[in-house]
Amino acid sequence: MFADLGPTHSLSWIMAVWTLRIIILSLICTFLSWLGIRVLDALTPNIHEREEIGKNPISTGLFVSGFLILLGLVIHGVLTSKIAMGQSFLGSIISMRRLSLIGVSFFVSIFLGVGLFNLFDRLTPRIQFINVRENPEATGVYVFGYLIFFGLVIHSVLTMSL
């Protein structure tokens, strides 16, 4: 039953493995998106994302929308990624290679995103990026964009060939 995944398994068994993959990777990516917002808070100390988002229903709605798009990109990535036949049960659910790529991509995307944000802020002195903190809706749009950005990064990691 827990042997290598292959053509001898029933469709219901393969569907169960795919469902388990979706659940596990969605939980991992949800945790990473939460962690990413915490890191974003720390790396942009003048903009308090988590605090500002809760001040207005529109910013909260934008946050939830961004999260749902991120989750949709994760689920699409899991569903369209290939499972190598002949892998172990655990290997067919979650690949340690892919999981490590997700982790590396998370850190690279956070630091690259914040770094380029700060660079672009300096290159455009007439556009004050810090003004995002003055309006909860603006902060909501900012975090909405981050969640989509992170969702696209994770989606590409999930669908890339190894």
- What pLDDT is attached to residue 45? 75
Position 102 pLDDT exceeds 60? yes
Specify the pLDDT at position 1. 47
Going by pLDDT thresholds of 50, 70 and 90, the confidence category of residue 8 is low
Burial class (CB in 10 A: 0-12, 13-18, 19+), 59: buried
Residue % of the chain over a pLDDT of 70? 89
43, 122 contact by CB (below 8 A): no
How many other CB atoms sit within 10 Å of the CB of residue 154?
25
Alpha carbon distance 95, 19 (integer Å): 15
**C-alpha dihedral over 132, 136, 141, 142, to 10 degrees?**
40
In this model, does residue 130 exceed pLDDT 50? Answer: yes
pLDDT, mean of residues 41-50: 77
Grade residue 50 by pLDDT with cuts at 50, 70 and 90.
Answer: confident
* Averaged pLDDT of the chain: 84
| 58 band by pLDDT with thresholds 50, 70 and 90 | very high
State the pLDDT at residue 57: 92
Instruction: Return d(Cα 121, Cα 145) in angstroms, integer.
Output: 16
* pLDDT of 14 over the 50 cut: yes
Tell me the one-letter amino acid at 89.
Answer: F
pLDDT in tens, 65-78: 999 999 999 999 98
Q: Using one digit for the tens of pLDDT, what is the confidence trace for 131-144?
A: 888 888 988 898 89
Predicted confidence band of residue 87 (pLDDT cuts 50, 70, 90): low
